Amino acid sequence: MELETMRKDQEREIQEGDGSTSDSLGLDEGDDITTESAAFVHSEPPQDDSGPPKVDSEHEVLHEKVKKQIIKEGHGQKPTKFSTCFIHYRAWVEKTLHKFEDTWQEQRPTELVLGKEKKQMTGLGIGVASMRSGERALLRVDWELGYGEDGNFSFPNVPPKADLLYEVELIGFDEVKEGKARSDMTVEERIGAADRRKAEGNNLFKEDKLEEAMQQYEMAIAYMGDDFMFQLFGKFRDMALAVKNPCHLNMAACFIKQKRYEEAIGQCTIVLTEEENNVKALFRRGKARAELGQTDAAREDFEKAKKIAPQDKAITRELRLISQHEKAVYQKQKELYKGIFGPRPEPKPKRLRWPLLVWQWLVSVFFYLFRFLKRKAE
């Protein structure tokens, strides 16, 4: 009951906006997206992580070395050449089922510019070009269009001549008129494009269009992948983080509203690796952990947030709710154990054994008289 109250409080506070940590989502205004067209559907993680999914749909031959089976239908148009596609995928070596990449696990979508992809992703690019937004498919790629005759011995680790399996989902794509790849953009252009995505996501969030908002945040994050962030330092890194981290935090807020608490925790943890004292990240991770019943971890997050923002009433309230919840759980356990073992039995009064007492008294009197007469005779 207490945890459900916590969730409802958060939703009400977001709508009312009282300036506390729980409703301050870090939403920034921005300009509209400057692309000719865009299509998207928010990605959801695969349900089974034990291996490649089993698919019953028919094989579609895209290329003599690339075959596709549709797992989930998409919608809209297919991306054209030079479209910037945002995808999630998991990849296995087909022979051994060794998984060597998983962007869902990393919670970071990958950007793929059709016609400009890396050589080892040629087969993947052919598959993505055949997909519609929101579509998920299983691709079989022969080694010639994968990592080739030599394979790859760093990261990812792929053996020579390895045929590949991809479970891939097309989150969405941009068709920019100039066909300019993200890798050809300057730092300022990439950060600016991500910021516009973030602003669009914020507008959608305010309209309670969570799926559309999350798609915009996810695509903004894709503009600033690890390869890009590793190149930045100083003011440029600060500028990038000022856009990237709010996107992760807003993703977490959306996940909490959708009761996808594990994913919310993951988004907040990404932010905390960069800013260990980020109050919003600590607060939202604490909320998600509390909803999952991880009260010790939730309290730890809230207490750390309170040290940083001691006047924040929302944090104080969440700590109080955790205490109330634990007290209620204790009372329930106490009642449960009481019902199992029952009340402690009352001690039964001992019955007096009068004949025995009388006999003992007579013996003691006889013994006393015997000693008295003996002493008198002496």
Return the domain boundaries, the chain.
1-32+184-340, 37-175
DSSP assignment string, 131-189:
--BT-EEEEEE-GGGTTTTT-BSSSS-B-TT--EEEEEEEEEEEE-TT---GGGS-HHH
DSSP assignment string, 40-87:
E------S--SSSPP--SPPEEEETTEEEEEEE--BSPPP-TT-EEEE
Token pair listed for 219: 């695509």
Token pair listed for 370: 């015997």
- Amino acid at site 167: E
The CATH class that applies to domain 1-32+184-340 reads mainly alpha
Q: How many angstroms separate the CA atoms of 4 and 286, rounded? A: 14
Q: Write out the chain's pLDDT in tens, 378 residues.
A: 444 444 444 444 433 333 445 444 345 333 332 233 444 444 455 555 578 999 999 999 999 999 999 999 987 889 988 888 889 999 999 999 999 999 888 777 788 889 888 999 999 999 999 999 889 999 999 999 999 999 998 888 999 999 999 999 998 887 765 456 677 788 898 899 889 889 989 998 999 888 888 878 988 888 887 778 888 888 999 999 999 999 999 999 999 999 999 999 999 999 999 999 999 999 999 999 999 999 999 999 999 999 999 999 999 999 999 998 888 877 777 777 765 655 666 666 656 566 777 777 777 777 777 777 777 776
pLDDT of residue 290: 93
Fold classification of 37-175 is: Chitinase A; domain 3 (3.10.50)
